[in-house]
Amino acid sequence: MKIAVACDNNQISAHFGHCRQYLIANCADNKVVSHEYVTAPKHEPGVLPRFLHELGVNLVIVGGIGSKAVDLFNQRNIDVITGCSGDCLANVNTYLEGCLLSTNSMCAGHDHDENHQCSH
């Protein structure tokens, strides 16, 4: 399993589409076997689901994200856990322990500018 976490300075980014990089964790037997940081591509609608799908990601862990983006990930068989915060790798380990729950909070009024309103 491959898990991607939207992060800034090893902390989960408040908004998925505006993060600087992704932690990509390769997991097996409920443990992280390796991880790397990948620079995020430019934020444009539909780019990130395709980018992470091409990396083989099965799950993304995020702070906030728009419902349309979640739908695009789900269409590529990538699950999304929302409403997370804190250390990126710690969240991956919490997920692997079966203790990380999604809040299902979505950004509302997402118009691709810095003034959108988020409900997370």
Between β-strands 107-108 and 59-61, what pairing exists: parallel, antiparallel or unpaired? Answer: unpaired
Domain count, the chain: 1
- Answer whether residue 113 is part of any domain: no
Residue 119 forms part of a structural domain: no
17 CB-near residues (< 8 Å, 6+ apart): 43, 48, 65, 66, 69
- Domain ranges, residue 25: 2-108
pLDDT at 117 over 80: no
pLDDT of residue 31: 97
CATH number at residue 51: 3.30.420.130
Span 37-73, pLDDT tens digits = 999 998 787 899 999 999 999 999 999 888 888 999 9
Is 117 domain-assigned?
no
> Degrees (nearest 5) of the Cα angle 83, 88, 89?
130
The yes-or-no verdict on residue 6 having pLDDT over 70 is: yes
Range name among 9-18, 71-80, 92-101 with the lowest pLDDT average: 9-18
Report if pTM > 0.95. Answer: no
Q: Which two tokens stand for residue 114?
A: 């810095």
**114 in any annotated domain:** no
